Structure formats: C-alpha cells, structure tokens
C-alpha cells in the first residue's frame, strides 16, 4: 500500500494550487500556505465602488490542462465553473484611426486582415499561423508538458536532429525580426509582436519561438462566468475534498533544511511545520535572495534585476464607455513600439506613450453594453523596479495615468468613471510577490536559450521543488498549472524511490 507523506506547498497561486490538488489526489497529506487571505495569487480581485473586478489574468487557454487536473481529482471543470468560449479574441486600435478584430476562427481573421491591409497580408497571416502551429507541435510534448530539458538531454534524445529542431522553433532571431518574414504592414507586426508581452518580454529581444502564442490562442480562449477567481476557488474546494489543509494570511519565513534536505517550513509566528517535501510556488527570486533562509539561497541561480520581466500599472474601475466600441479584450497601440520598449527595458521608465490593454469584464462576444457602467481592467506595461530607487512614485504613476487617459482620448475612447479606481504598480506588486521588483512573469526570455535556463521542478536542495510562473514551463495560468503538476509528479516519484 502506498505510504502517505506530508507535503508543504508554499504559495496558493495557480502553480501551488495545481501542485497541492495533484498531490492530495495522489493520496498525500498536503498543507498549502499563503501570506494572502485568499487563494489565486495573481488571479486576484479588487474593489471599485460596489463591484469586484478581476485584477490579473482574465481568460483561459489550453483548457485540457484543467480538464486533466480536475479529472485526476475525480471531478470535472463543468461541475464547478462555467467556461464561455470567446469567438472574438481581441479588438485592436491604432493612432491612425484604423482598427482590426481577430477571431478564434482563423479564416475569419484572415478575411478581416485582407479587408484591413490587403490580400497579401492575409496570405502572410495564413503562413504565420502555419509557422506558429509548427512551433507549438515541436515544443508541446517534449518541452511544455514535460520536465525542462537541458542542452545535454536534447543532444542525447535527438542527436543530429537537435539543430534541425532548434531551427524549427525559430529561436535564433527575435520575434520582431521573424514578423518581417510574414507581414509588410507595420501595424500587423505590432499586433503580433505584442505576444511577447504575454511573458513579460520585449518583441525586439524575445525569441521568435513566442509565435506559438498565436496558435495557442486560436485553439481556444475561454472566459469564466462570474470571474476567473472562481477557477482558483474551485481548486480550493477540490483540495479540501481530498483532505488538504489551507493556511492563509501567514507568511513563510524559512524553508528548514536538515542534512542538506528540506524538512519543513517555519511561519512568521514561529510555528514550524514538518514535511517530507516542500514545493515552493512563489517567485524563485525569493529563494535566491535569502527571503526563505540561507539553507535554500543556493537552491536556484540568482538573476540580476536587469533580467526581470515586465511589471505593470493596473487600474480597476467602473466606468461608462463612450466612443470606440470595446470587445472583452481591446488593445490601443502606441505610435512607436520600439521606443516604448526601449523606455521600459533600457531606460527603466514608464512609457511616454503607452500601449493600453483594456479588459471589459462584463462583455463576452457581445460588443455593446449600452447605458451601463462597466467593470474595466486597464493595464500599461511598466519596468520591474518596485524594490529599488527607480520605483515609480505616486507622482510618476499619476503622470502615467494622465498620459494613458490622454492616449485613450486621442484614439476615440472616452471613459466616465462612476467609482474610484483601484491602482496597482510595481511597488505594490513587489509587496504582493516579494523579491520580484514587481516583475509578473519571472525572468524575461530575452535569449535564444532562455527557456532552457528557467528553473525546472527540482532544485539543488533535496526535497525542495518549484512551481509557478517563474519556473518551467513559464508564465500564464495554464503554464503555471503545468508547473505545479510537474512538481507534484517529481515529488511523488522521488518519495516513492526513497521508500
């Protein structure tokens, strides 16, 4: 009979929740701890007036990741939440007055692009989607859904084919350069270059591999009825059903190490929780900076602040919308994309003319909510300087808000707030996710081999495992969930081997 072990999971974001549910469903005793008073991590809610607004991720991709996790726990996603597929993926506006919608139906998108920029650009889009699908097919099994490979393991597993595979995933040129091969229209290069920001990167520096995001989105995007926080709450319910213990509002101050092995955790009130293994699902930089004790400081390689991914300025508010029509996702682009990312990554400052993302959370595929106040999330990218001298202060954030609202006004979108906005910037994200400087995606993937240097599920400290968006396979809700499941599988295998 399988022996039940005790696993401590630190961090109740998607990576920690997935690891905890997976381990509990495998029969282990699990204690999940988080310093916040609610589960979900970046999948959080904030208040604006009498409304609660999703203040982080707003939609799901790779739905099968969650179908598999819920099935392991003896349940179904549909038993807990209602997922609504989006046919309209996003609406885009440019300063020249043009606009373009993209759809889950690739042919519908191609037709829209042909009308927007001509038939040659539509053909370029079709080639781009084929390219994105090829990259995804190459990396999905051996990389995204598996333990992080190393250069040696790639050579061992693929031999002479390794160089061919690296060429197939387009990792040697930037996403920005790759787009030149498909689109002549600079607006389309800007649109698809924005996919780099999904992992907190600059399209001018991120590898062309990130083209795969186009295919992942086209394969399906779902919104969660009532808010995406309901998904994390569903996982909390599953954990409880399998006997997992949840400790909220308590900070872990140390991962305890004895004889070179993680043996438990200590909380901020001095309580010690012994465990057979520890899964750390916070940002790995907290380990490398010593926030969890000297015993695990060298569990992962430290990254300099210059390698951080993007942070953000986020405003959540209720407002009446006039002028430009919003979709569930709307992007209003700046007029000079390269300048925007030079300011963010080289000058480490808030952009002078930001690209603005708006999530109209009360809209699905219906493009109109007449005469009603809407729940909006408005986001602009920011440098991850929330823990240093370069952190934007209140005056800098107020000035950025003025520039943002002026940019929206120039592009024809007029907002009339009916309740005060809740604002979050790099310093506030640093408080929520310690040792990150406010970076929301771990380290930036700005080198061809960056994905191979992101930490895997095992660390240099026996019994200590990693999950979450700063670990392999990367940031985003489904990727964090996969990281949690990879960590859980590693814990289960290693404990079985010890037995």
Give, in order, the Cα–Cα distances in Å from 439 to each of 21, 229, 292, 434.
Answer: 26, 21, 19, 10
**Any idea what the Cα angle at residue 8 is, between residues 6 and 13, rounded to 5°?**
140
Q: pLDDT averaged over consecutive 10-residue blocks of the chain (499 residues)?
A: 85 98 98 97 95 94 98 98 95 98 96 98 98 94 88 72 77 95 98 97 97 95 94 98 98 96 97 98 96 96 92 97 94 98 96 97 72 90 91 93 97 95 97 96 89 92 97 96 98 90
First to last CA, the chain: 11
> Strand (E) positions, 86-142?
88-93, 99-103
What residues form DSSP beta bridges with 280?
10, 466
Show Cβ contacts of residue 168 under 8 Å, excluding neighbours closer than 6 positions: 134, 135, 138
Q: What's the confidence (pLDDT) of residue 152?
A: 74
Q: What's the confidence (pLDDT) of residue 157?
A: 72
Q: What's the confidence (pLDDT) of residue 447?
A: 86
Residue 396 CA to its chain's centroid (Å): 26
Q: What's the confidence (pLDDT) of residue 1?
A: 47
| CATH, range 6-43+65-74+228-304+448-498 | 3.50.50.60
pLDDT tens string 319-358: 999 999 999 999 999 999 999 999 999 999 999 999 999 9
Of 337, 346, 77, 338, the closest CA to residue 222 belongs to 77
Alpha helices in 146-291 (DSSP H): 151-158, 161-168, 175-180, 186-193, 212-218, 229-241, 284-288
Q: Provide the 8-state DSSP code for 284.
A: H
Give the DSSP H or E segment for 68. helix 63-72
Give the DSSP H or E segment for 330. strand 329-332
Side-chain half-sphere CA neighbours of 138 within 13 A: 23
Paired sense of beta strands 88-93 and 329-332, if any: parallel
Of 437, 492, 429, 497, the closest CA to residue 465 belongs to 492
Give the pTM. 0.95
Dig out the tokens for 168 from the structure: 């197939």
Report residue 224: phi and psi, to 5°.
-100, 120
d(CA 423, CA 48): 10
In the three-class reduction of DSSP (H, G, I as helix; E, B as strand; rest coil), residue 168 is classed as helix
**Ramachandran sector of residue 437 (left: φ over 0; alpha: ψ -120 to 50; beta: rest):** left
Dig out the tokens for 123 from the structure: 């053909």
pLDDT tens string 248-306: 999 999 999 999 999 999 999 999 999 999 999 999 999 999 999 999 999 999 888 88
Side-chain half-sphere CA neighbours of 393 within 13 A: 2
Q: What is the largest CA-CA distance in the chain?
A: 68
d(CA 473, CA 454): 8
């Amino acid at each position: 009979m399988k022996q039940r072990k005790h696993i401590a999971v630190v961090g109740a974001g998607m990576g920690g929740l997935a690891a905890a549910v997976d381990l509990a469903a495998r029969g282990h005793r699990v204690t999940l701890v988080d310093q916040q008073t609610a589960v979900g991590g970046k999948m959080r809610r904030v208040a604006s007036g009498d409304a609660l607004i999703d203040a982080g991720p707003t939609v799901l991709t790779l739905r099968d990741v969650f179908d598999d996790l819920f099935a392991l726990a003896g349940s179904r996603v549909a038993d807990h939440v209602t997922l609504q597929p989006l046919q309209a993926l996003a609406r885009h506006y440019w300063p020249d007055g043009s606009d373009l919608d993209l759809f889950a139906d690739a042919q519908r998108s191609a037709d829209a692009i042909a009308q927007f920029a001509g038939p040659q650009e539509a053909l370029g889009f079709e080639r781009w989607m084929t390219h994105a699908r090829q990259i995804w097919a190459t990396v999905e099994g051996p990389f995204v859904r598996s333990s992080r490979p190393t250069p040696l393991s790639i050579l061992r597993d693929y031999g002479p084919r390794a160089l061919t595979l690296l060429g197939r995933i387009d990792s040697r040129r930037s996403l920005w350069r790759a787009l030149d091969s498909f689109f002549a229209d600079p607006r389309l290069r800007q649109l698809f270059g924005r996919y780099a920001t999904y992992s907190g990167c600059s399209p001018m520096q991120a590898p062309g591999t990130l083209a795969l995001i186009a295919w992942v989105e086209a394969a399906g995007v779902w919104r969660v009825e009532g808010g995406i926080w309901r998904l994390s709450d569903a996982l909390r319910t599953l954990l409880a059903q399998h006997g997992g213990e949840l400790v909220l509002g308590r900070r872990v101050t140390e991962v305890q190490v004895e004889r070179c092995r993680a043996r438990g955790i200590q909380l901020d009130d001095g309580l010690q929780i012994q465990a057979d293994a520890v899964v750390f699902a916070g940002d790995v930089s907290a380990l490398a900076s010593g926030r969890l004790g000297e015993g695990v400081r060298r569990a992962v390689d430290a990254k300099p602040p210059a390698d951080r991914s993007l942070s953000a300025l986020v405003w959540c508010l209720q407002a009446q919308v006039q002028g430009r029509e919003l979709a569930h996702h709307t992007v209003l682009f700046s007029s000079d994309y390269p300048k925007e990312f030079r300011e963010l990554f080289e000058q480490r400052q808030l952009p002078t003319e930001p690209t603005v993302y708006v999530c109209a959370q009360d809209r699905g595929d219906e493009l109109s909510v007449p005469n009603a106040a809407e729940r909006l999330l408005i986001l602009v990218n920011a440098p991850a300087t929330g823990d240093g001298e370069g952190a934007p202060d209140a005056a800098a954030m107020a000035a950025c808000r003025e520039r943002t609202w002026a940019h929206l006004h120039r592009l024809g979108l007029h907002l009339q707030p009916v309740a005060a906005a809740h604002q979050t910037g790099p310093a506030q994200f640093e408080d929520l996710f310690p040792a990150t400087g406010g970076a929301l995606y771990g380290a930036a993937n700005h080198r061809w081999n960056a994905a191979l240097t992101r930490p895997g599920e095992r660390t240099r400290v026996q019994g200590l495992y990693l999950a979450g968006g700063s670990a392999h396979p990367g940031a985003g809700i489904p990727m964090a969930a996969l990281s949690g499941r990879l960590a859980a599988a590693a814990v289960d295998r290693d404990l079985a081997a010890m037995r």
